[in-house]
Amino acid sequence: MRFYRTNNGMSTHSKNRGFIWSAVAMTPLCPTSIRSRLWWIGKKSGVIATALQMIALLVLAGCEKKSMGPMGRPPVSVEVAKAISQDAPLYIQEIGSCTAMQSVAITPQVSGAITEIRFKDGQEVKTGDILFIIDPRTYQAAVEKAEATLLSDKATLTLNSQQLERNKSLVQGNFISSQDLDTLKTTVETNDATVKQDTAALETAKINLEYCTITSPINGKTGIHQYDIGNVVTSYATTPLLSIQRMDPLYVDFIVTEGDFPKVREYFKEGTLKVKIYPPNDESKSRLGDLIFVDNAVQQGTGTVKLRALLQNEDRFFWPGQFVKVKLVLADLKNSVQVPSGAVQISQTGPFLFVVKSDSTVELRPVTLGQQQGDNTIIEKGLAADETVVVDGQLMLSPGAKVIPINPASPAPSGTSDAKP
pLDDT per position as a tens digit, 224-281: 999 999 999 999 888 999 999 999 999 999 999 999 999 999 999 888 899 999 999 8
Do residue 132 and residue 233 come from a single domain? yes
Do residue 223 and residue 316 come from a single domain? no
Do residue 120 and residue 238 come from a single domain? yes
Do residue 317 and residue 361 come from a single domain? no
**Is residue 41 in a domain?**
yes
Q: How many CA atoms lie within 13 A of 91 on its CB side?
A: 24
Domain count, the chain: 4
Does the pLDDT at position 197 exceed 60?
yes
Q: How many CA atoms lie within 13 A of 166 on its CB side?
A: 6
- Cβ contacts of residue 97 below 8 Å, gap of 6+? 252, 253, 254, 321, 322, 323, 324
Do residue 173 and residue 53 come from a single domain? no
Higher pLDDT, 155 or 411: 155
| The pLDDT value given to residue 172 | 67
Q: What is the DSSP letter of 224?
A: -
Do residue 113 and residue 185 come from a single domain? yes
Q: How far apart are CA 41 and CA 325, in angstroms?
A: 81
**Do the Cβ atoms of 134 and 108 come closer than 8 Å?**
yes
Domain termination residue (choose one: 332, 347, 365): 332
Q: Which helix (H) or strand (E) holds 346?
A: strand 345-347
User: How crowded is residue 158: how many other Cβ atoms within 10 Å of its Cβ?
Assistant: 13
Residue 202 has φ and ψ, to the nearest 5°, of -65, -40
Do residue 319 and residue 356 come from a single domain? no
**Is residue 411 in a domain?**
no
For residue 168, name the pLDDT band (cuts at 50, 70, 90): confident
Q: Which helix (H) or strand (E) holds 189?
A: helix 178-211
Q: How far apart are CA 130 and CA 215, in angstroms?
A: 4
Does the pLDDT at position 32 exceed 50?
no
**Is residue 252 in a domain?**
yes
| The pLDDT value given to residue 175 | 66
- Cβ contacts of residue 307 below 8 Å, gap of 6+? 253, 254, 255, 256, 264, 291, 293, 294, 295, 328
The count of residues in the chain is 421
Strand partners, 401: none
Do residue 281 and residue 152 come from a single domain? no
Average pLDDT score over residue span 360-369: 94
Do residue 239 and residue 120 come from a single domain? yes
**Is residue 275 in a domain?**
yes
**Is residue 318 in a domain?**
yes
**Is residue 58 in a domain?**
yes
* Whole-number percent of the chain with pLDDT over 90: 61
The CATH number of the domain holding residue 383 is: 2.40.420.20
The CATH number of the domain holding residue 263 is: 2.40.30.170
pLDDT, tens digit (0-9, with 9 covering 90-100), for 97-143? 999 999 999 999 999 999 999 999 999 999 999 999 999 999 999 99
**Is residue 194 in a domain?**
yes
**Is residue 358 in a domain?**
yes
Do residue 112 and residue 217 come from a single domain? yes
pLDDT, tens digit (0-9, with 9 covering 90-100), for 37-52? 444 444 444 545 455 5
Do residue 220 and residue 304 come from a single domain? no
Give me the domain span that covers residue 170. Answer: 106-243
Helix intervals (H) in 232-278: 261-268
Instruction: Give me the torsion for CA of 232, 238, 242, 247, rounded to 10°.
Output: 170
Do residue 128 and residue 228 come from a single domain? yes
Q: How far apart are CA 31 and CA 26, in angstroms?
A: 15
